Structure 1
Amino acid sequence: MPPTSGTRTCRLTAEAERARGFTLLELLVVLLIAGILLGIGIGAVSTGKNALSGAAQLLVTAALTARSRAMLCNAPVTLRLSPGALAVSGGPESLWEKEFPRGVEAVSVNSRPLAGGARSVVFQPLGLVREQVVVLRSDAAELSVYVPATGSPRVLEGRYTLERIRKEYL
């Protein structure tokens, strides 16, 4: 007797069952592998940016230290920048020196290149300083550290000049 519409059964052949799709386990394995590869790729890119951010924070800390020391001692304090390092000194004594993280370099101060040389930023006893823009570069990107006359630095993404900062932020 032929089946009626309510009792109709459908059987798939073995070949049709295999062609239905992926199992949950197969999908999870693919997602796991994709996640691992994505994590490795993002980690490689963010390492350069982390080093650059670390260098910018190092420069901000150095500027704040120099400003505080100048106000505390009532004497000028110098922040000296070279392509691979910075130093804070008050008078003849060096307060501290730090190197930038590997792969990061200071490129310019107020649009003047640092290649092969160094530049000094002098904080006066009242904590004031001439406006400065220091550009830091790594393989991943560039950051600018703006030190206004009041001496409180700010980190900006990309390459900035004093003129551009005055137009966009002041």
Structure 2
Amino acid sequence: NKCRLHKVTGKAREYIEKQIEFAKKQLEQIRQDIEDIINSDPDLKEKSKLLTSYKGVGRKTASILLIEVPELGRLDNKEIACLVGVAPKTSESGRKVSKAQIIGGRFYARKALYMSAVVAMRHNKKMKVFYQRLVDSGKAAKVALVAVMRKIIICLNAMIKNNNFYLDV
């Protein structure tokens, strides 16, 4: 509707503006309901605190991960990376060998991890060094970013499993 708004005039413009306003209010209410659910459950609240202690993971990302990946903390590293969809997989058949790529997984969790990786690669010292080392060794920027995403989800999984906060030393 926002895209259509600049081409519309008159009553139609008023209706579209009302729809946009309604959608914004509804989205804000949904976000508040999610926060209330997390705060009312002691287990989810504790997991949220653990997740947000990681530089690069905010309340929204923690909420998405708690909702989309309830298995967080119960799986091993390879399983959690595959579940989220950040484990590289190769497609081979006979003589055909293609590059590894990420496919499948939980879309919204992967999308949230992407934004966390972008933030972490700028503000988290360890991830910044890890990303730069991969880029310096010749990896493409997106490949290095996916590697950061994988490292983040593995770290978050370990944090929840061991009930430890992230320490940026």
TM-score class, shorter-chain normalisation, is under 0.3
More strand by share: 1
Query: RCO greater where, 1 or 2, for CA within 8 Å and sep 6 or more?
Result: 2
The structure richer in helix per residue is: 2
Q: What's the TM-score once normalised by structure 2's chain length?
A: 0.26
**Larger-gyration structure (1/2):** 1
Q: TM-score, normalised by structure 1?
A: 0.26
